[in-house]
Amino acid sequence: MSSEKSQLKFQSRDGIGLPHGAELLQDPILNKGTAFTEAERDALGLRGLLPPRVLSEELQITRILESVHKKNSPLEKYIYMAGLQDRNATLFYRLLIDNLDELMPIVYTPTVGQACQEYGHILRRPRGLFISLKDKGNIASILRNWPQEDVRVIVVTDGERILGLGDLGAYGMGIPVGKLSLYTACAGVHPTACLPITIDVGTENETLLKDPLYFGLLQHRERGEVYDKLLEEFVEAVKEVFPRALLQFEDFANANAFGLLAKYRDEICTFDDDIQGTASVTLSGLYSALQITGGKLIDQKILFLGAGEAGIGIADLVVSAMMTEGLSQEEARQRCWFMDSKGLVVKGRNNLVEHKLPYAHDHTFIAELLTAVETLRPTAIIGVSGQPKTFTQPVIEAMARLNDRPIVFALSNPTSKSECSAEEAYRWTEGRAIFASGSPFDPVTLNGRTYVPGQANNSYIFPGVGLGIIIAESSRVTDEMFFAAAKALANEVADTDLKQGRVYPPLSRIRDVSASIAYAVAEVAYRDGLAKSARPSDLLEHIKSQMYQPIYESYV
């Protein structure tokens, strides 16, 4: 085969032609490694740069999995997978998609938490864009440094509230990188359409500030007007440089997360995953749990431990769902109660922050969670506190006395922050708990029966939501879309799942689930006049046809 570029089927992003030789092997999107065929090696100047034998993608996967299994710790596996992603994206995503149960906990929670804590010590090759206070006035030009022009999804963090681990500053980049890997693996958003960004305004983490390998700004966090203006410049730059992009805010602290969402949700296509994505996946889990208990959503009383972004976001969506079933907003809010670090959120307390006020009910103050459970008699407790082991044995046993099938959702991430384990929830309720967690727990066998805990992982929601928005080219992201996503996810839970206690479908079905969610979200966009694209006659099939498949293409 001639090596002339004109004979190649594929063109590079500049439209001139594929890079040749060593340059091609350095491009993770185009590189196939030892899978390049004899003809491609001749045409693309690869002779001698690769071992002589051509290996299929299947054989490459066998080799990679063997290497993964030889690693002694989850963090070592994370580092190895990151290296694979840097050199061969197709192989990375093929491996991840085919082994989601095993590898999602490696590339995302819980391992990504440790990876973020040690990011400067394990960094091999930077990914994404880092924007700092030093870049004020030049953010648009920095965005233009990104090699891809048609970015469709941006995940951005300022690193202040990484999972349940707190302020990790610039080390928080592991979260946008991980989230966008799941956009591709779970929903087929093409990797070149994804852009992870970290905005570095400093950190309050003294350990990082004293770490000689910390690569972020060595200063305490900038707040107030300087922070607000930097974020405003960033949003305006995104609108200018990537006008078709969905902007996902991720792991911002409460003080900024609610304000940013309120300011920009009606101005650009944006959402906050910690507020809205967590709400959607939790509401879906509640719907599934009610298929087990036989109850109705409007008859539930929910007690939240933790009154931050996740908790308030869940309650707001639950209230909206209850209102569709006939309750007034006030009646629905009366079914949602909150415990924060000081105790029960009630009207008599002073200095409550604004986002807690709608759920400050007229009730005697209660300081302890166990007393709150025994007094309020909730049907469900939802932990979003970031405080481990707070669902103690007395608390869980009280829930079991009050409810035949108590709903116990311990959602704090990573696993080390979970309010209780799956084994504890099942053992302390004699197997009657309907349990879900934020990070994965293994199945539990108790009295001869095996229970499969549900994982209320936002990856069930945000990839499908993003895909639906991309397909419809929606100008906005609405709460109705997350409500539709929750219902679509609950509809994917089979009777066989419910019989095992599982309130979410298995991860092995995530791409089909994401397609269904994308369909539901796109339909909302088309119905509400938010879509810029024309609705295809067969929307679901169109969505599936647009999902990225990590399969090697022929270049000659």
CATH, residue 81: 1.20.1370.30
Same domain, residue pair 514 and 369: no
Same domain, residue pair 81 and 173: no
Please state, in angstroms and as integers, the Cα–Cα distance from residue 170 to each residue in 121, 199, 386, following that order: 13, 7, 21
Same domain, residue pair 301 and 212: no
Q: How many residues does the chain have?
A: 556
Q: What is the pLDDT of residue 6?
A: 30
Domain assignment present for 541: no
Same domain, residue pair 260 and 120: yes
Q: What is the pLDDT of residue 9?
A: 42
Catalytic site residues? Answer: 108, 179
Ordered mean pLDDT values, 10 residues apiece, the chain (556 residues): 36 60 96 97 96 96 97 97 97 97 93 96 95 98 96 98 94 98 98 98 97 96 97 98 98 94 96 96 98 95 96 96 96 98 95 94 97 98 96 98 98 92 97 94 94 93 98 97 97 94 93 98 98 97 97 92
Report yes or no: 458 and 430 within 8 Å, Cβ to Cβ.
no
Q: What is the pLDDT of residue 138?
A: 98
Distance CA 429, CA 407 (A): 11
Q: What is the pLDDT of residue 4?
A: 35
Report yes or no: 116 and 171 within 8 Å, Cβ to Cβ.
yes
Q: What is the pLDDT of residue 255?
A: 87
Domain assignment present for 549: no
Contacts of 27 (CB under 8 A, 6+ apart): 19
Which of the listed residues 233, 268, 303 is the one where a domain comes to its end? Answer: 268
- Whose tokens are 């934020």? That residue is 438
Report yes or no: 542 and 533 within 8 Å, Cβ to Cβ.
no
Q: What is the pLDDT of residue 296?
A: 95
b/e for 445-478, b at 16 or more Cβ within 10 A?
eeeeeebbbbbbbbbbbbbbbbbbbbbbbbebbb
Report yes or no: 82 and 387 within 8 Å, Cβ to Cβ.
no
Domain assignment present for 555: no
Distance CA 421, CA 528 (A): 42
Domain assignment present for 548: no
Same domain, residue pair 180 and 206: yes
Report yes or no: 502 and 493 within 8 Å, Cβ to Cβ.
yes
CATH number at residue 227: 3.40.50.10380
Distance CA 436, CA 413 (A): 12
CATH number at residue 424: 3.40.50.720
Which of the listed residues 245, 268, 291 is the one where a domain comes to its end? Answer: 268
The domain in which residue 345 lies consists of: 276-457
Distance CA 85, CA 106 (A): 13
Contacts of 323 (CB under 8 A, 6+ apart): 329, 332
Domain assignment present for 547: no
Domain assignment present for 479: yes
Domain assignment present for 546: no
Same domain, residue pair 262 and 351: no
Domain assignment present for 534: no
Give how many domains the chain has, as a whole number.
4
Distance CA 4, CA 475 (A): 43
SS3 (DSSP) at 215: coil
SS3 (DSSP) at 144: coil
Question: Percentage helix, strand, coil, to 5, in the chain?
Answer: 50, 10, 40
CA-based torsion, 441, 446, 448, 452: positive or negative: negative
- Which of 168, 72, 71 is closest to 113 using CA atoms? 168
Contacts of 125 (CB under 8 A, 6+ apart): 82, 83, 86
Q: What is the pLDDT of residue 134?
A: 96
Instruction: Output the six-digit token pair for 133.
Output: 């206070």
DSSP 222: P
Instruction: Output the six-digit token pair for 550.
Output: 């990590």
